[in-house]
Amino acid sequence: DVKVTQSSRYLVKRTGEKVFLECVQDMDHENMFWYRQDPGLGLRLIYFSYDVKMKEKGDIPEGYSVSREKKERFSLILESASTNQTSMYLCASITARGQNTGELFFGEGSRLTVL
């Protein structure tokens, strides 16, 4: 089974702190994604990566950056956390062959609270 692991299930940070959210997948998937999930807004795409060191902005990239130094790992970075970034963050992955035709595999999410 594909496993997408998000390192932190729950985090509490203070405004202005730098936050790292880590995601690792074990199926050699080329494509990885970061979404945030908010009640009433569904999932919104922050960033995605289709190869090592490659990244593209999603629909709401402001305030975030990402890093993909290794194929299996995709990190989301909040340079200076703000209260409006309190949310559930979901990582997902899929093979390049599977994109457009297959299913995304999701991690269990990281719930971030910024005080």
Among 13, 44, 71, 73, binds another protein (CB under 8 A): 44
**Is residue 104 a contact residue for another protein (CB under 8 A)?**
yes
Cβ neighbors of 99 (< 8 A, separation 6 or more) are 31
Tokens found for residue 67: 């890093």
Distance CA 16, CA 18 (A): 7
Among 43, 73, 86, 111, binds another protein (CB under 8 A): 43
Binding site for another protein (CB under 8 A): 4, 31, 33, 35, 40-45, 48, 50, 56, 58-59, 90, 92, 99-101, 103-104, 106-109
